[in-house]
Structure 1
Amino acid sequence: MALVQRLPDTSLTVALASGGREHFGWGVDRHMTADVFDAINQNTRATGNWGKGKAPKLPAWPRPKPSKKAAKSDGPKKAGKRVSVAEIYRKFTARR
């Protein structure tokens, strides 16, 4: 995949590379706003004076869900599996 540089972080191309259309418009500024919102909610929950002693559950800012990448059949089956240089060389030089 060719890397396209200097695109705005809210562009559709960056969104599709991040996991899909639901990421469209989610730049650094929107992620920071969501993080500040969640931090204020956590602070309110932690320091609030609740009458019955139990803090209410405050909703988090809705965010796009990260997509799970499909496992490729060419790669190692589990993370952390050691691959020799010879195996890597065979994969790059294999005729298709």
Structure 2
Amino acid sequence: MIAGRGPSPVFVLALVQRLPDTSLTAALAAGGRHLLGWGQDRHLIADLYDAVNVNTRATGQWGKGKAPKIPPWPRPTSKAPGKSTGSKPPVTVAAIYQQFAGR
């Protein structure tokens, strides 16, 4: 760090890249505050839960009745209606700052 000039951009980038995937900054970069806490581990647990339920429905012997409807694990959804799931533009630092400031 140079005295009086603050941290270098490379240093700040290194700090941000080392944040956990459940952090607010990672959630805002991924699409919004509603993704806070949804890291790889939580996504994998939700997928595992859904896979076990599909297997249960496929292999169960339900007698005369139909297989029960098992709801999927609740996941965060986008709050903006009509957005396509295609490639999204990169998130800028200014956009992340606006989301932080918009509390």
TM-score interval for Structure 1 and Structure 2 normalised by the shorter chain: 0.5 to 0.7
Q: Does 1:6 align with 2:9?
A: no
Q: Does 1:59 align with 2:71?
A: yes
Q: More helix per residue: 1 or 2?
A: 2
Aligned residues: 68
Aligned counterpart, 1:85: none
Give the unaligned 5+ runs of structure 1.
Answer: 70-96
Aligned counterpart, 2:35: 23
Aligned counterpart, 2:51: 39
Larger Rg: 1
TM-score by length of structure 2 reads 0.58
Of all paired residues, the percent bearing the same amino acid is 72
Distance in 2 between residues matched to 1:25 and 1:18, nearest whole Å: 12
Determine which structure has greater relative contact order: mean sequence separation of CA pairs < 8 Å that are 6+ residues apart, divided by chain length. 2
Give the unaligned 5+ runs of structure 2.
Answer: 1-12, 85-103
Q: Could you tell me how far 1:31 is from its partner in structure 2?
A: 0.5
TM-score by length of structure 1 reads 0.62
Written as runs of structure 1 = structure 2, the 5 A alignment for 1:72-83 is: none
**Structure 1 consecutive aligned stretches of length 4 or more whose deviation exceeds 4 Å:** none
